[in-house]
Amino acid sequence: MPRPDILEFRAKLRIDKHDLDGELEVHAECQEAIARVVAGCNTLQLEAKRAVEAVEAEVVDALKRQSDKMSNPVAEKEAKRSSKYAAAWGAYQTARQLYEEWAGLHSAWVTRGYNLKTLADLHGQQYFSVTTTTMRPSADTVLAEERRRIRDAVPSRRPRS
């Protein structure tokens, strides 16, 4: 089965709050596909790590057979300089990077799921719907009304003659 493209799922991370039904349907399908890829990448990474350990052990054994007086730490250092070890280490790092990218994407999709739930709750509470048809009065109108009330409440003072 071909592996899906990571960019395809990154492009779908944005949530369209006007199409929550569609987003919910897509979310479960995409997150399941991403989880499958993460599991496959993790397997590849672990296999590559075991290959590095096997190559290191093989090279250390070969070096110790060549020289009986070589100690384990010295043989391990020499093994890590070999081209076989470098190739295995490079393959492991590539597999690990791929796993980390997909694991990060999976984490982002989990967060997206929580965000979808929050948006659905807000939608259920009619947060996004317009509930009033009148506009709020402007600040100038409110100030003018307060000044009129104060003038009406305070008796006017007339100068004494």
Q: Which residue type occupies 10?
A: R
Residue 35 lies in a domain: yes
Residue 158 lies in a domain: no
pLDDT in tens, 91-149: 999 999 999 999 999 999 999 999 998 888 887 777 766 665 556 667 778 788 888 88
pLDDT at position 128 is 67
Answer yes or no: is pLDDT of 27 > 60: yes
Mean pLDDT of all residues in the chain? 85
pLDDT at position 132 is 55
Which residue range is the domain that position 130 belongs to? 6-153
pLDDT in tens, 77-91: 888 888 898 999 999
Q: CA distances (Å), 80 to each of 46, 84, 126, in order?
A: 19, 9, 63
- CA–CA dist 59, 53 (Å, integer): 10
Q: CA distances (Å), 113 to each of 24, 36, 94, in order?
A: 8, 17, 29
Residue 37 lies in a domain: yes
Domain count of the fold of the chain: 1
- CA–CA dist 139, 79 (Å, integer): 78
Q: CA distances (Å), 35 to each of 65, 106, 115, 141, in order?
A: 45, 7, 19, 58
Residue 160 lies in a domain: no
CB 104 within 8 A of CB 8: no
Residue 65 lies in a domain: yes
Residue 161 lies in a domain: no
Residue 96 lies in a domain: yes
pLDDT at position 94 is 96
pLDDT at position 131 is 63
